[in-house]
Amino acid sequence: MKILSLDLGKYKTVGCDYESESGAHQFKRGFTTPTGLAKMVQEVKPDRVVIEVCSIAGWVCDLLWGLGIEVQVAKHQ
């Protein structure tokens, strides 16, 4: 499974493109805007995107669902 985990910042986002079968990974950077996140997702073509609960999680989930991407939201304890 190809997973893109996103560390969403106010202005910039860092993503980890991770292949679960091989453990191969690489990091990507982009702007925290609908266009910036859509571009990152279109480049990586993940099966699932993982984000942490935060103030912008709502519109990010809406964007990802609109792109047909499975979303998993994690809660930090």
Domain 2-74: CATH superfamily, name plus number: ATPase, nucleotide binding domain (3.30.420.40)
Q: What is the model's pTM?
A: 0.91
Domain boundaries, the chain: 2-74
User: pLDDT tens across 18-67, in order?
Assistant: 999 999 999 999 999 999 999 999 999 999 999 999 999 999 999 999 99
Nearest to 5 by CA among 44, 71, 51, 45: 51
What pLDDT sits at residue 76? 74
pLDDT of 13 > 90? The answer is yes
The C-alpha atoms of residue 54 and residue 43 are separated, in whole angstroms, by: 24
What pLDDT sits at residue 58? 95
What integer is the mean pLDDT of 2-29?
A: 97
